[in-house]
């Protein structure tokens, strides 16, 4: 079901897409951060050490894993994580959220810049999208327009906000995401927000222009209508 806010007369020119649970279905099969930890330190993550990944950038999660060993080998951990991710997703591709490929094509046909704002590293973002059938060079013209904000090496999801504001007018931008942290990002940028999924998100700022379970049927139509 799509719920739309008041229409705007200013069309969207740039979409910054989240990846996990927005473009691609969640992967519960394996914890690649655990695998990178074990490769780097030679033993599994301790059973009593629980690290939540939700809403965090790759670099934040990596530093929490490194803290378990009092290690500062961030570069070594990220190299392992990227390599393991490329190998894993090449063998075990993710699936798109229903309706995503057609919606991406429709946005390109409408002259919109498809970009990314994700907590993944560029390496992990690229292999996830490519092996799922939505390769950046085919579906995300934003890579050529400076609209690929992959925050995986940073320490905080909002670290890329100044770069977004330097590149684009917030009035032109829509952020598509599925979590309160994606909403907070849209607030920080000062742009519109489209919600994917049913996670409770308080639209206190009045920036959500709509939401849908996925991008099929009325949900997909509502998303495209919100761009105009």
Per-position b or e across 99-133, b if 16+ CB within 10 A of its CB: bbbebbebbeeeebbbbbbbbbbbbbbbbbbbbbe
Same domain for 57 and 122?
no
Residue 87 has a CB neighbour count (10 Å cut-off) of: 13
83 and 115 part of one domain: no
Residue 20's domain comprises 14-26+95-226
Q: Enumerate long-range contacts of 74-81, CB under 8 Å, 24 or more apart.
A: 76/40, 77/36, 77/37, 77/40, 78/121, 78/152, 78/153, 80/35, 80/36, 80/39, 80/40, 81/32, 81/33, 81/36, 81/121, 81/124
Q: Is residue 210 part of a domain?
A: yes
pLDDT band at 28 (very low <50, low <70, confident <90, very high): confident
Q: Is 47 found in the same domain as 20?
A: no
Checking if the pLDDT of 4 tops 60, the result is no
Residue 84 shares a structural domain with residue 99 = no
Same domain, 86 and 100: no
Q: What is the pLDDT of residues 73-131, one digit of tens each?
A: 999 999 999 999 999 999 999 999 999 999 999 999 999 999 999 999 999 999 999 99
Q: How confident is the model at residue 10 (pLDDT cuts 50, 70, 90)?
A: confident
Q: Answer yes or no: do 173 and 154 share one domain.
A: yes
Position with higher pLDDT, 75 vs 6 = 75
**Tell me, what's the pLDDT at 129?**
97
Confidence at residue 2, expressed as pLDDT on a 0 to 100 scale: 53
Q: For 5-9, 188-192, 217-221, which range has the lowest pLDDT when averaged over its residues?
A: 5-9
Same-domain pairing of 116 and 170: yes
Shared-domain flag, residues 194 and 135: yes
| pTM assigned to the model | 0.92
| pLDDT for residue 6 | 46
Phi and psi at 186, nearest 5°, equal -60, -40
Structural domain contains residue 220: yes
**211: helix, strand or coil:** strand
To the nearest whole percent, how much of the chain has pLDDT over 90?
88
What does the pLDDT read at residue 9?
62
């Amino acid at each position: 079901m799509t719920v739309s806010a008041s229409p705007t007369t200013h069309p969207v020119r740039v979409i910054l897409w989240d990846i996990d649970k927005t473009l691609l279905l969640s992967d519960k099969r394996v914890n690649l951060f655990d695998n990178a930890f074990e490769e780097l330190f030679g033993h599994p993550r301790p059973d009593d050490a629980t690290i939540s990944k939700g809403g965090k950038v790759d670099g934040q999660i990596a530093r929490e894993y490194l803290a378990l060993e009092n290690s500062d080998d961030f570069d070594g951990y990220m190299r392992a994580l990227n390599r393991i991710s490329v190998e894993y997703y090449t063998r075990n591709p993710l699936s798109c959220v229903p309706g995503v490929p057609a919606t991406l094509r429709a946005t390109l046909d409408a002259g919109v810049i498809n970009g990314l704002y994700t907590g993944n590293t560029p390496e992990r973002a690229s292999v996830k999208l490519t092996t799922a059938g939505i390769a950046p060079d085919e579906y995300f013209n934003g890579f050529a327009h400076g609209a690929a904000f992959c925050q995986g090496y940073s320490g905080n999801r909002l670290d890329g906000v100044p770069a977004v504001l330097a590149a684009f007018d917030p009035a032109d931008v829509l952020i598509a995401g599925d979590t309160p942290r994606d909403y907070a990002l849209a607030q920080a940028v000062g742009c519109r927000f489209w919600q994917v999924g049913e996670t409770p998100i308080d639209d206190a700022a009045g920036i959500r222009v709509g939401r849908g379970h996925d991008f099929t049927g009325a949900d997909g139509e509502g998303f495209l209508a919100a761009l105009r």
